[in-house]
Amino acid sequence: MAAWLLRGLREGVVTTRYPRRPDDYGESFRAAVSVVPSAASPSDARLADLCPTGAISVETDRVLLDRGRCVVCGRCVTAAPDRFKFESGPEVASVRRAALVVPKAGEEGVDLDGLREGLRTQVKAFRRSVHVRHVDAGSDGSEEWEVSALLNPVYDVQRLGIYFTASPRHADILLVTGAGSIGMLDPLRTTYDAMPDPKVVVAAGTDATSGGLVHPSYATAGGVAAAVPVDVWVPGSPPSPFSLLQGLILAMQVLSGEAVGR
């Protein structure tokens, strides 16, 4: 007991202050892959072959990357560093599936300060009223490690008024991981139907978004949208706890009717 007390005094408060302020770890985490602005060339056609999940597509004048299919393996970054790069920072979730395709037309960059201020405001508005039901719909287990981390002293989602519940009848948010295995589609729908309105569905991870590496497959539906309507998409394989936090707070915005497309 004395050893734990001394350790606590020595290390101080370890709980992140996100989203009230950026976190050093969150800012350094490789959360996604971005396309480096560059003039298109005939050789760009080969870039599509670099991705094992087909996340890269080549058009006449540009290269696109679908983060909803990207497993952040870094193969494209290694093979073509002049065209692709890792992007740090946790804010990768979106309320629109199409917004996961980068670069977005006409976009000069994301206003992270404005986004974080909106997240902070939403947390204050909801206080202690949001309950989450988590369902594994065919995950490889990596997302579950990150979801469970939300409950540890570092991330501590309860400080934001977010609680996990075992009953869908008490849940406001359905957090789904996994590629949407055929055997889990009916249980997932049953869980969704048991939740009271209003309710929000968060697809957590690339597998839940698109099926990831295991799609197409006879055993999966290519993501959880085949069973339930998804409101918030959180890419990543797996997404970091910070990205999951952002996705849950966006879900709170959807519940309040204040979410904007991004």
Which range has highest mean pLDDT (34-43, 109-118, 249-258)? 249-258
- CATH annotation of 24-90: 3.30.70.20
- Asked if the model's pLDDT at residue 260 lies above 60, the reply is no
- Checking if the pLDDT of 233 tops 60, the result is yes
Give the pLDDT confidence score for residue 45 in this predicted structure. 79
Q: What confidence category does residue 22 fall into, taking pLDDT thresholds of 50, 70 and 90?
A: confident
Predicted pLDDT at 125: 56
**CATH fold match for the domains 24-90 and 112-256:** no
Domain residues of the chain, as ranges?
Answer: 24-90, 112-256
pLDDT for 44: 77
Q: Sorting pLDDT into bands at 50, 70 and 90, what band is 9?
A: low
What is the CATH code for 112-256?
3.40.50.12280
**Is residue 127 scored above 90 in pLDDT?**
no
Query: How many angstroms separate the most distant Cα atoms in the chain?
Result: 67
Pair of tokens at residue 113? 């300060």
Q: What per-residue confidence (pLDDT) applies to 19?
A: 83
Q: Would the pLDDT of 70 be above 60? A: yes
